[in-house]
Amino acid sequence: MTLLLTGYEPFGGDDENPSAMVARELDGEEIAGHEVVGEVLPVEFDAAFEEMQELIETHDPTAIVATGLAAGRAGISVERVGINVNDCGSTPDNAGAEPRNERIRNGETAGYFATLPVVSVVESLLDAGIPAHVSNTAGTHLCNNALYSTRAYLDRQNRDVPMGFVHLPCTPELAAKHAKDGDGTSGASVQPSMPLSMQSDAIRRTLEMTLKI
Ligand code: PCA
Please count the structural domains in the chain: 1
Q: What is d(CA 50, CA 20) in angstroms, rounded to the nearest whole number?
A: 18
Q: What is the pTM of this model?
A: 0.98
Q: What is d(CA 201, CA 195) in angstroms, rounded to the nearest whole number?
A: 10
41 Cβ inside 6 Å of ligand 1: no
Q: Supply the range of the domain harboring residue 119.
A: 2-211
- Residue 124 sits in a domain of what CATH number? 3.40.630.20
Distance from residue 19's CA to the centre of ligand 1 (Å):
9
DSSP one-letter string for 151-194 = HHHHHHTT----EEEEEE-B-HHHHHHHHHHTTGGGTPPPPPB-
Q: What is the pLDDT along the chain (213 residues), one digit of tens a residue?
A: 999 999 999 999 999 999 999 999 999 999 999 999 999 999 999 999 999 999 999 999 999 999 999 999 999 999 999 999 999 999 999 999 999 999 999 999 999 999 999 999 999 999 999 999 999 999 999 999 999 999 999 999 999 999 999 999 999 999 999 999 998 888 888 999 999 999 999 999 999 999 998
Q: What is the largest CA-CA distance in the chain?
A: 54
68 Cβ inside 6 Å of ligand 1: yes
Convert the pLDDT of each residue in 49-67 to its tens digit: 999 999 999 999 999 999 9
Looking at residue 195, what is its pLDDT? Answer: 98
Convert the pLDDT of each residue in 134-160 to its tens digit: 999 999 999 999 999 999 999 999 999
E-state strands within 84-162 = 111-113, 132-135
Looking at residue 186, what is its pLDDT? Answer: 86
Distance from residue 12's CA to the centre of ligand 1 (Å):
9
